[in-house]
Amino acid sequence: MKRFSVLLKLRSLRVFSAKNVLFLVSCVFFLLFFGCKKDNSPDALDKDTSYAFGMLMASQLGGSMGFYDLRFDYDAFKEGFRDFNEARETRLSQEKAIEKINAAITNLQSKQDEERWIEGEKQRQEGENYLSDNKVRAGVTTTPSGLQYEVLVMGSGGKPGPTDTVQVHYEGTLIDGTVFDSSYARGIPAEFPLDAVISGWTEGLQLMNEGSTFRFVIPSDLAYGSGGAGSIPPGATLIFKVELLSILK
Amino acid at 137: R
Query: What is the domain class of 1-249 according to CATH?
Result: alpha beta
pLDDT of residue 34: 43
End-to-end CA distance of the chain: 13
Q: Is 224 a catalytic residue?
A: yes
Burial of 120-155, coded b for 16+ CB within 10 Å and e otherwise, reads: beebbebbeebbeebeeeeeeeeeeebbbbbbeeeb
pLDDT at 225: 87
Q: Is 240 a catalytic residue?
A: yes
pLDDT of residue 174: 94
- Told to judge if 16 belongs to the known catalytic residues of this protein, a careful annotator would answer no
Average confidence (pLDDT) per 10 residues, the chain, 249 residues: 37 40 50 48 76 80 65 84 84 84 80 77 92 95 97 94 95 94 94 93 96 96 87 91 93
**Residue 198 among the catalytic residues:** yes
Which entry of 81, 170, 214, 216 is annotated as an active-site residue? 170
Catalytic residue among 33, 53, 84, 180: 180
How much is the pLDDT for 7? 42
170 assigned to active site: yes
Q: What are the domain boundaries of the chain?
A: 1-249
pLDDT at 2: 33
Candidate list 67, 81, 101, 198, residue with the active-site label = 198
What is the reported pTM? 0.63
The yes-or-no answer on residue 130 being catalytic is no
